[in-house]
Structure 1
Amino acid sequence: MRTRLLQGLSLLSTGLLAGAFGYGAANLVPTFNAVPIDMRLDFHAELMKMNGITMQATMAVSALSSLALAALTRGRTRALAGAAALLAVASFLITRFGNVPINGRIKQWAATEPPTGYADVLRRWELFNDARTLTAVVAFALLTFLALRETAPCPKGHDQREAA
């Protein structure tokens, strides 16, 4: 029962993470690029205030629940849950060391003016955003595969627990 609850928590939190990053990549970034730069900087700076706590918490729950799931299981389930945990940690590290420093610059630019060459910095932020989105989506896909695999009927004479 504890394993199923952890599996549900890891699937939910990683799905929320992948969904939030996916929505940002598919909708926010193109919108950022379509509006005047001062509007983008103001909105981006305000959005990061809100995202700071919620996204870090989601990444932490995703990584920790996937890691706990890996610790409580064995075989292929352990490997896939562990891989999902590593991918969630990768999303955090990409965010922390890639996007967050650039967010700090954007906050400064919103209060003043963007410097010459700001477009290259914004493109780098988008590359980091794409990378963290990809890691979150793959983590979610792995956990979804686990959930679907465990609910699929086993061939006659096989116990589902043996497959895990």
Structure 2
Amino acid sequence: MTKNIIRFLNIIMAALVAGTIFGIWVGYNPKDLSAPTFIEQQQSAINALNTLMPILGLITILLTLTSALLHKNEKRAFLILLIATIFLVLSGLTTKFGNQPINSIVMTWNMNSPPNNWMELRNNWWFYHEVRTLSAFIGLCLIVWTSMKND
């Protein structure tokens, strides 16, 4: 019963994290935005998500690792869940060391006077976002796949 509850919570949390990241990837590509629009949109998203998402990500990583440990006697499921954990950690580290430093800089910007390098930072942020989107999605897929294979 415990294994099923952890598995269920793991799927829900991984879906929330990957879904939020995916939604940003689909709906908020900044490449065609003017500087003021980009700054306003980015500052709003940072205010809304900068605290919540790392907490959800950490919970998801811990649930995935717990699920792996609960499957330690099932070698295939154990390994797949450990790999999923690695992908989720990669997504978190990309956020922490790629996106969040740029977020901190963007939060200091005035939308009416963007810095000269705003497009470079925007493009770097988007690259890191694509990396974390892919890694979170792979993690989610592995979690769901393991759950389907262990019914």
> Relative CO higher for 1 or 2, CA cutoff 8 Å, sep ≥ 6?
2
Moved more, 108-117 or 48-57: 108-117
Question: In the alignment, is residue 145 of structure 1 matched against residue 151 of structure 2?
Answer: no
1:38 maps to a residue whose letter is: P
CA contact (8 A) 2:17 2:57 kept: yes
Match of 2:2 in 1: 2
Other structure's SS at 1:108 match: coil
Give distance in 2, aligned partners of 1:27 and 1:10: 25
Q: How far does the alpha carbon of each residue in 1:71-94 deviate from its partner, in whole angstroms, 9 at most, with x for none?
A: 111211111111111211111110
- For normalisation by structure 1, the TM-score amounts to 0.85
Match of 2:108 in 1: 108
Offset at 1:95?
A: 0.4
Runs of at least 5 residues in structure 2 that lack an aligned partner in the other structure:
none
2:40 to 42, 45, 50: 42
Which has the greater radius of gyration?
A: 1
Match of 1:77 in 2: 77
- Aligned counterparts, 1:107-126, within 5 A: 107-110=107-110, 113-126=113-126
CA contact (8 A) 1:45 1:110 kept: no
CA contact (8 A) 2:102 2:121 kept: yes
Offset at 1:2?
A: 0.8
Q: How far does the alpha carbon of each residue in 1:43-92 deviate from its partner, in whole angstroms, 9 at most, with x for none?
A: 21121011012211210111000001111112111111111112111111
* Identical residues among aligned pairs (%): 21
- For normalisation by structure 2, the TM-score amounts to 0.92
Q: How far does the alpha carbon of each residue in 1:4-50 deviate from its partner, in whole angstroms, 9 at most, with x for none?
A: 11111111111111111111001112xx3333211220221121011
CA contact (8 A) 2:35 2:118 kept: no
Offset at 1:112?
A: 6.3
CA RMSD of aligned residues (A): 1.4
Offset at 1:137?
A: 0.1
Match of 1:158 in 2: none
Match of 2:59 in 1: 61
Match of 1:22 in 2: 22
Question: 1:124 and 1:100, CA in 2 relative to 1: closer, same or farther beyond 3 A?
Answer: same
CA contact (8 A) 2:35 2:111 kept: no
CA contact (8 A) 1:3 1:72 kept: yes
